[in-house]
């Protein structure tokens, strides 16, 4: 049975800053635009690969302390950076690939998300950039 | 000619504090400086400091 359960192993790095201990969810999507290539004579739709359109969405605890979430992300809004997510700690390899988005754009940052009696969290999405997978130990 | 800028790690979230930080490709150094994760410790060939007695004396009119 092929399942993957994430407890505390994934490693999340944004702009070289290790935010693993602030992150509760990471979704890294490797995607391409789909361009329709269906023509007369076809009986089924056909698609070809367009531009890469990758994104990473992270759920993070918001902290305004030094070297924490806000300090990491506030200066990145409206700029591009590098985001790396890998399934487990330790060096990269075939079984622990370092999924990397270089030149990913951060369009917005919810600077406060406050609910009484709850820890503050924010969701941020980095879009665009060049996708690569590092499997070199 | 000014040399390459050298950065030092301040926050353990980046690496070992005190070590030199070599920015990887695509990383925003300005954001790391703004966030207090690293500091600039100068260039390898820094420009000379101005002389101490270089104050401009007021002129009498």
The nearest alpha carbon in chain B to A106 belongs to B28
Please judge whether B35 and A103 are an interchain contact, meaning their C-beta atoms are less than 8 angstroms apart: no
Structure tokens at B39: 């500091």
Say if B49 falls within a structural domain: no
Instruction: List chain A domain ranges.
Output: 11-134
What pLDDT, in 10s, does the model give residues A22-62?
A: 999 999 999 999 999 999 999 999 999 999 999 999 999 99
The nearest alpha carbon in chain B to A19 belongs to B13
Q: What is the pTM of this model?
A: 0.83
Tell me the count of A-B CB pairs closer than 8 A. 61
The ipTM (two decimal places) reads 0.83
CATH 1.10.10 fits A11-134, yes or no: no
Say if B57 falls within a structural domain: no
Say if B56 falls within a structural domain: no
Give the count of domains, chain B: 1
pLDDT of residue B42: 78
Which domain covers residue B33, as residue numbers? 5-43
């Amino acid at each position: 049975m092929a399942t993957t359960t994430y407890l505390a192993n994934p490693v999340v790095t944004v702009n070289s800053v290790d935010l693993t201990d602030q992150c509760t969810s990471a979704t890294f999507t490797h995607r391409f635009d789909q361009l329709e290539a269906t023509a007369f004579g076809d009986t089924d739709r056909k698609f070809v690969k367009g531009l890469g359109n990758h994104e990473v969405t992270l759920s993070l605890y918001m902290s305004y302390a030094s070297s924490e979430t806000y300090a990491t992300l506030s200066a990145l809004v409206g700029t591009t950076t590098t985001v790396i997510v890998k399934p487990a700690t330790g060096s990269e390899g075939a079984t622990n690939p370092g999924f990397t988005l270089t030149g990913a754009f951060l369009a917005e940052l919810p600077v406060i998300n406050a609910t009484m009696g709850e820890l503050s969290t924010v969701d941020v999405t980095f879009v665009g950039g060049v996708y690569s997978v590092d499997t070199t130990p | 000619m000014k040399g390459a800028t050298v950065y030092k790690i301040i926050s353990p979230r980046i690496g070992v504090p005190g070590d030199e930080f070599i920015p990887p490709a695509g990383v925003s150094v300005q954001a790391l400086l703004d966030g207090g994760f690293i500091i600039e410790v100068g260039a390898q060939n820094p420009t000379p400091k101005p002389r101490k007695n270089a104050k401009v004396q007021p002129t009498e009119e």
